[in-house]
Amino acid sequence: MNRSSNVKDGLLSEGQLGSKPISVHRLGTGNITERLYKPSNVVFKEGNSSMALKAAEEKSSKIKTLINQTTDFKKNDFFTSLVNGDPFTLQLLIKSQDTATVAYGDLICALNYSLTDTWQKGDWYAFGAFSGLHVENGQYFVQACVLLRCASAQRSKCGAETSEAYTHFKEFSLDMKGYSKDTFLTPEILSEGDNLPKKGLAWDTNRSFDKLWSNAGSLKDPLLMAGIYGRLYEKD
């Protein structure tokens, strides 16, 4: 059985997962996926780990260059954009009701969603996945599925900081598959204004935390982000 974090009323609190000390940190420059569990004292290791860090940093630099060359959305194809400094594979949501599946290596993220009639087509959302070494402000391994509002109609702005949203989701469900059995999972939802909707009322999750859903219009505020984040300590 996979290891999962404790979530109470939609809030992430300091605690322990197994024997690993953890705490909630604000990471990177964006505010929509910053609330990740990570070790409170990140250690940069020698040998193979430092080589992996160097390779990840070089890859991140190349991806940033490519992202800066992209412009407006043209279709719902897959693209790469930095979310909390990590190169997520994303797909634009262009229908008011649909499904989406995005893979990143062995990690598979699946989404089923329906928007209300008030959906504004200038309010862009994307769904994506990432599995790899985070190197933006520390070295730690992340596996994540995320549904997020893009800051503007540019690919490079999917993952950029924003606290505004105007679209209500009638319902949605998010599933994570293919993650390591040793990954610690944390589900979270942020609504317009960086608010944390109440778990059990506005949204819910299963006992293993690899599924996240909101049904029957229970989420009253416009959605900023919904995601499942995983930490795999043994690959740090």
Query: Residue 152: helix, strand or coil by DSSP?
Result: coil
Return the pLDDT at 110: 98
Alpha-carbon distance of 5 to 26, in angstroms, equals 17
The residues, any chain, with a CB within 8 Å of residue 52's CB and separated by 6 or more, are: 133
Half-sphere exposure of 126 (CA within 13 A, CB side): 29
Contact 37, 224 (CB under 8 A): no
pTM of the prediction?
A: 0.72
Alpha-carbon distance of 28 to 116, in angstroms, equals 32
Return the pLDDT at 11: 34
pLDDT-flagged residues of the chain (< 50): 1, 5-47, 63-71
Alpha-carbon distance of 27 to 205, in angstroms, equals 24
pLDDT (tens digit per residue) in 158-205: 999 888 898 999 999 999 999 999 999 999 999 998 899 999 999 999
Alpha-carbon distance of 143 to 132, in angstroms, equals 7
